[in-house]
Amino acid sequence: MTGAEPSPVAPDDPRFTVTRATLDDWAPVSAWAADEGWDPGLSDLGPFFAQDPDGFHLGRLDGEPVSAVSVVRYDAGYAFLGFYLVRADLRGHGYGLATWRTALAGAAGRTVGLDGVVSQQHNYRSSGFVLAHRNHRYVGVAPGYVPQPEGIVPAGSLPAEAVAAYDSACHPADRPRFLAAWLTAPGHRALARVAGDRVTGYGVIRPARSSYRIGPLFADTPDDARALFDALTAGTGRTPVALDVPESNPAAVALAEERGLVPSFETARMYTGPVRATAEERVFAVTTLELG
């Protein structure tokens, strides 16, 4: 997700530098994201860095983090921009834009995607990003216990290549490194639905600061998505559940509303160029707003 406003002027300040960030460096950025209400998962960072450990950049003023951007590369043709943030008390000085430019340089030649908040979408359009579709964060308490749907199995019980192939049909790039870490991160629970020897969907639920987050939720049909949602949310109790639903899939919106969730905020998926075709009708919830 991106929320900072690009400043028209980069800072002319010898105290300011932009450097690559390590996993340990990124802790304050996660706190900034939480302060913005984005509610990142508690174990998200490990899988994020597993995909591209060189894709995370910090702007530092006198050595202290003040701005951040991640541009995570999936392959030679596609990258995703997220975590575009500036510390609240230092916005409007150009620190964000300087960090943005440095981070994007590492994605040269690639189409770049992002999920941008409403208030900043005009800025992203001016930087060459074009709207693909909108996402809505749906939040609410899941209906409660339902009988275990048929065909639900732990995703880890299936051949890794089968889950990866299903994921690749729903995402603009293959991402086996990310997926291996995402399915097994602490607190993450990954389930799949199968019919015979065929995968018909999979999803992941994980704890965040104020909710359980579901992402992705990919499924062949609304029935498959419904079964996965109910299995994933079994045991969540009164803790809210949140998922980011693409407006471009009416069946996904219908499922969220059927289960009593309500929209809380909106983002826009935007790209700088073409991406490979995906099975949009299978995407009932995107994986994350930070890495697509």
CATH code where residue 172 lies: 3.40.630.30
Task: Please indicate, yes or no, whether residues 177 and 222 belong to a single structural domain of this protein.
Answer: yes
Task: Please indicate, yes or no, whether residues 121 and 149 belong to a single structural domain of this protein.
Answer: no
Q: Is residue 75 part of a domain?
A: yes
Task: Please indicate, yes or no, whether residues 37 and 127 belong to a single structural domain of this protein.
Answer: yes
Task: Please indicate, yes or no, whether residues 97 and 181 belong to a single structural domain of this protein.
Answer: no
Termini Cα distance of the chain: 9
Q: Please give the angle made by the CA atoms of 118, 34 and 234, to the nearest 5 degrees.
A: 95
Q: Which residues, in sequence order, are CB contacts of 58 under 8 Å at separation 6+?
A: 18, 19, 20, 21, 25, 26, 29, 65, 67, 68, 99
Q: Is residue 270 part of a domain?
A: no
Single pTM value for the model: 0.93
Task: Please indicate, yes or no, whether residues 92 and 47 belong to a single structural domain of this protein.
Answer: yes
What total number of domains does the chain contain?
Answer: 2
Task: Please indicate, yes or no, whether residues 208 and 250 belong to a single structural domain of this protein.
Answer: yes
Task: Please indicate, yes or no, whether residues 59 and 87 belong to a single structural domain of this protein.
Answer: yes
Contact indicator for 85, 126 with CB cutoff of 8 Å: no
Token representation of residue 159: 């051949």
Return the HEC string of 165-191.
Answer: HHHHHHCCCCCHHHHHHHHHCCCCEEE
Name the residue range of residue 85's domain: 16-136
CA 237 to chain centre: 24
What is the mean pLDDT, run by run of 10 residues, along the chain of 292 residues? 47 84 91 84 95 96 92 97 90 88 93 90 90 96 80 96 97 97 97 96 96 97 96 94 97 97 94 97 97 94
Residue entry with tokens 């701005």:
67
